[in-house]
Chain A
């Protein structure tokens, strides 16, 4: 987290706010609720209280405006800049402005007012931008449900105002996993139309051949309706589908869009009911088979007939010599199978049936 220079903060814990005008995009009551909920996010972890004023000068003056809107800090039309707020201080200090050229919503379509307001009110209380992509104070908009503050945000605001004396229990947003952590393990890896998607905890990395650095995003930001953690995933390029497994459910993506008719139960694939999760999945294009790894065994699913091959499950250790007995994630790339288990990845030749190289898992992320 970062604060503004000289750690600007309010000198009182009783802060006032006033909403000067409303966006026509939402009902007045929805705007009131979004602002109040956003203030409560910060109040829950500090001794701060917020009182609404209906006239006169409040510490935090909230308004919607377009282009040049009176502070010589103009907005830029739709998209781009969404809002800004001033650090605590007299006059314009604490004031929070939203770009009326955006379309404000209370769901995940376009820009969610509550999320943007919670971020901006963080500025109004003295929080500057954080470089932690999992933090609310990261300066790029991303939609997520649930409690919006990360540990980084909570530490930052409490460094200014201290904790809430009533010590309300909050469940901070999870920390984003660090890609170059030597002990990093993966939950799932899949290809997606030439890109590689790596799932870890509540985040995923996107690797594009033309992007030098992986891009990290909350799973919920891209796919709000799928589970927050992913167990396994694979791409079937012939059907242009990516199947994502979480517990006993699976979802299908066409590109980045969820396919209607999902989630379905993993048992629809022919797995027995005793299987409660798939650890890893990989599609072998040459054979048209998808291998599903569960604990120390694996299954073979025929994509063409839509049935599970007979003679399975088989032992991972016996059929993939040199491999560990369990797999966290698997992906088929450049003619090799890449298996991931804990902090190690195994480059496995499917044709010569042996492990060619063993590397750290994080080397897949250019570490």
Chain B
């Protein structure tokens, strides 16, 4: 298959992160731009970390996702 570009890699990291820690539902979704659940989860994460709440996967948000962290789900049980 084709190699992932850096941009794709960022989305891969973000998707894994949001699924794991923000309950992003798994499964196939439509085009990224219309992915409102993805944006909602990014906004939730940006709000918690006091980043600029844009719902977009900017470098700042992605950098924080790549930081080492605790894996306890933010929502219990």
Chain A residues with a Cβ under 8 A of chain B: 4-5, 8, 73, 75-76, 79-87, 111, 116, 119-120, 123, 128-129, 131, 133, 139-141, 210-213, 215
Q: Is the CB of B50 within 8 A of A140?
A: no
Q: Is the CB of B76 within 8 A of A81?
A: no
Q: Is the CB of A211 within 8 A of B48?
A: no
Nearest 10 Cβ contacts at the A-B interface? A81-B71, A4-B76, A84-B71, A141-B68, A84-B72, A212-B52, A140-B67, A140-B69, A139-B70, A139-B69
Q: Is the CB of A212 within 8 A of B70?
A: no
The stretch from B3-11, B28-36, B57-65 touching chain A is B57-65
**Given A82-B68, A82-B70, A211-B60, do A87 and B76 touch, yes or no (CB 8 Å)?**
yes
Q: Is the CB of B76 within 8 A of A128?
A: yes
Chain B residues with a Cβ under 8 A of chain A: 16, 20, 48-52, 58-60, 64, 67-72, 74-77
Task: State how many angstroms separate the Cβ of B14 from the closest Cβ of chain A.
Answer: 13
Q: Is the CB of B67 within 8 A of A141?
A: yes
Residue of A nearest to B67 (CB): A140
**Given A5-B76, A212-B52, do A84 and B70 touch, yes or no (CB 8 Å)?**
yes
Contact of B60 among A5, A85, A139, A212 (CB under 8 A): A212
CA distance A82 to B50 in the complex (A): 22
Q: Is the CB of A212 within 8 A of B71?
A: no
CA distance A73 to B76 in the complex (A): 13
Helix, strand, loop or mixed for chain A's interface?
Answer: loop
Q: Which residues of B lie under 8 Å from residue A8 when comparing CB positions?
A: 76
CA distance A128 to B69 in the complex (A): 13
Q: Which residues of B lie under 8 Å from residue A123 when comparing CB positions?
A: 70, 72
Residue of A nearest to B60 (CB): A211
Q: Which residues of B lie under 8 Å from residue A84 when comparing CB positions?
A: 70-72
Q: Is the CB of A128 within 8 A of B49?
A: no
For the A-B complex with A128-B76, A129-B70, A210-B59 known, give 8 more contacts whose Cβ atoms are closer than 8 Å.
A80-B68, A81-B70, A111-B68, A129-B48, A141-B68, A141-B69, A211-B59, A212-B51
Q: Which residues of B lie under 8 Å from residue A140 when comparing CB positions?
A: 64, 67-69
CA distance A310 to B75 in the complex (A): 64
**Given A87-B76, A212-B60, do A131 and B48 touch, yes or no (CB 8 Å)?**
yes
Q: Which residues of A lie under 8 Å from residue B51 when comparing CB positions?
A: 212-213
Residue of B nearest to A97 (CB): B71
Can you offer 8 A-B residue contacts whose CB atoms are under 8 A?
A4-B76, A80-B69, A81-B71, A85-B72, A111-B68, A139-B72, A140-B64, A212-B58
Contact of A82 among B60, B69, B76 (CB under 8 A): B69
Q: Which residues of A lie under 8 Å from residue B71 when comparing CB positions?
A: 73, 75, 81-84
